Amino acid sequence: MKKISKVLIVVVLMAFGFTLNSADRPIHEIHSMLMFNFIKYVEWPEQSKTGEFVIAVVGDEDVYNTITNFYLKRPIKGQDVKVIGTSDFNSISNAHVIYLSDNSSKEFDAIHQKFAGKPTLIITDKSGLGKKGSCINFQEVNGKLKFEINQESIQRNNLKVSSQLASMGILL
């Protein structure tokens, strides 16, 4: 019951957006929490469901540490979790999820090209990257944190997003 309550709270917050100025948590914790919940609403192809579930964080040590501290020991979709923190995306050969921070957004085109067509959920935090091909992009709208969902990029990467998540995001 406690787990359902937490998920319900996150879903409501995702639907209405976080007010950036009044959030009790630092933005890296909010991004980490939302990313973890995005994963629950995304389906990967069958061949991706073996081995470790890999989350790569590029350019944000705070997000990396938060995900590692809170989520490393929890299985995701029945798989053990491996979290990679790096400032060099070239060190990533395979990942279920890549989070590209705002300060590393100059690497987006190369990451997008490297992982095009692979079952990788690319999550970014820079205005314009949703339209450019990020699967999910954090976006500030009227002082609230929202997220864009690029359905074409998600389909191109052989992923499926649940209708619940799609209904909460800004569809591109």
Digit-coded pLDDT (tens) for 132-149:
999 999 998 888 899 999
The larger pLDDT score, comparing residue 17 to residue 59, is at 59
Look at the alpha carbons of 88, 89, 95, 100 in this order and tell me if their dihedral is positive or negative.
Answer: positive
Q: What is the per-residue pLDDT across 78-125, written as a single tens digit (0 to 9) for each?
A: 899 999 999 888 889 999 999 999 999 999 999 999 999 999 999 999
The answer to whether the CB of 71 falls within 8 A of the CB of 36 is yes
All structural domains of the chain with their residue ranges: 2-171
Report the CATH fold assignment for 2-171: Rossmann fold (3.40.50)
Spatial neighbors of 114 by CB under 8 A, at least 6 apart, are 89
pTM: 0.85
